[in-house]
Each structure stands twice: as C-alpha cells, then as structure tokens.
Amino acid sequence: MHTLNTLKIFTQVLASFAESRNNIFSLSDLHGAMPQHNRNAFKVLVNRAEKQGLLERVCRGLYIVPDKRSEDGLLLYHAASRLRADQFNYISLESVLCDAGVISQVPLNWITVMTSGRSHIIRCQRWGSIEFIHTRKKADDVAGQLTYDSRCHMWRASVALALKDMKATKRSMDLVNIGMNDESI
C-alpha cells in the first residue's frame, strides 16, 4: 500500500512539474520534490514511473512526462539548454543554415550547438541527437551575432556566424547554397 501511495504522490508531482517546466526535467529536479526518499528508493520510484508510462527518459538524467501537447520538435533544443546550462551555448552550423534555407538538405532529428564545453553527441532516444561542438569563442566576442530564441530557450547564431563556424570547425560546405551564402554575409 505504501508503494502505491508513493507512486500516486509522485504522479501528482510529475503533473505539477509538467505544468510549470516545459515538460522536461532532470533527476535532481524530481528528487528535490521527493526529498524523503534516499537515492536508491528514488531510483526504484523513477523506474516504476517509467514502466507505467508516467515518465519517459529523453537521455541520461533528463525526463519528460509524456503528453500529447508537448512540442516534440523543440525537445532537443530544450534538452540541450538543460544539459549544458552552466556553459556558453548557441545554436549554429547546420541547424541555423537549414532554418535559413542556406543548405540544401534538412538534418532530421539532429541539432548542432556550439558550446564552451567539450564536443559530444548526445542520443535522445526517439527524438534524435544533439551534437555539441566545442568553441573557444566567448559570449562577448559574438554577442552582436546572436539572438535569443525563446521557443528553443537558447541563443541562435546569425547566418553569417553559422557560416564562420562551419569554416572554423572544418564542416563540409558542399551543401551550402553559394547564392544564399553571398547574400547572408
């Protein structure tokens, strides 16, 4: 009976989180709402919630409450902003160029983010992948070429900066539409 009550309370906690946090949270967010549980008991609770479909793992340490209203198209961006919240990050490279129509192919379920952290690819289950690419640029160096994208919860590079990042990171320029390239810079 105690386990059922705990799961019921946890379900209520998940519902309140989903209402207030764009439906994506870390284990520490969730554990903070259930501090009476030790680490092992909390892991068991999370596993039970996953098995019952109350909680879905996005990637290591990030979860969502499954909901038909969630914006799956933005989930990778929201996950990226949570995963590297303590670092300087901005959407760039193919993600920006694709949105601007500067490259001829659309990368499906893959976003590219420049970061002051280390380069790494994070697989996010059915949603796709986040590619973090290290940059030594400081926020002050590129501030004039960034705009805040409130839908993604991240900074977004201008097309000119994304093209510079492509060259600096030695990414393939084969898909870049040269006509758009000249107009964008």
One pLDDT digit (tens) per residue for the chain, 185 residues: 355 577 888 888 777 776 665 678 888 888 887 888 888 888 888 888 899 888 899 998 899 888 755 566 789 999 999 999 999 999 999 999 999 989 877 678 999 999 999 999 999 989 999 999 999 999 999 999 999 999 999 999 999 999 999 999 999 888 788 665 444 44
Query: pLDDT tens digits, residue range 71-92?
Result: 667 899 999 999 999 999 999 9
The CA distance from 171 to 59, in Å, is: 26
CB 112 within 8 A of CB 91: yes
Query: pLDDT tens digits, residue range 158-182?
Result: 999 999 999 999 998 887 886 654 4
For residue 106, give Cα distances in angstroms to 53, 96, 157, 166. 32, 11, 17, 16
Q: Which domains does the chain have, with CATH numbers?
A: 2-64 (1.10.10), 72-184 (no CATH)
Give, in degrees to the nearest 5, the angle at Cα 30 between 6 and 116: 165
The CA distance from 137 to 180, in Å, is: 25
Q: What is the pTM of this model?
A: 0.85
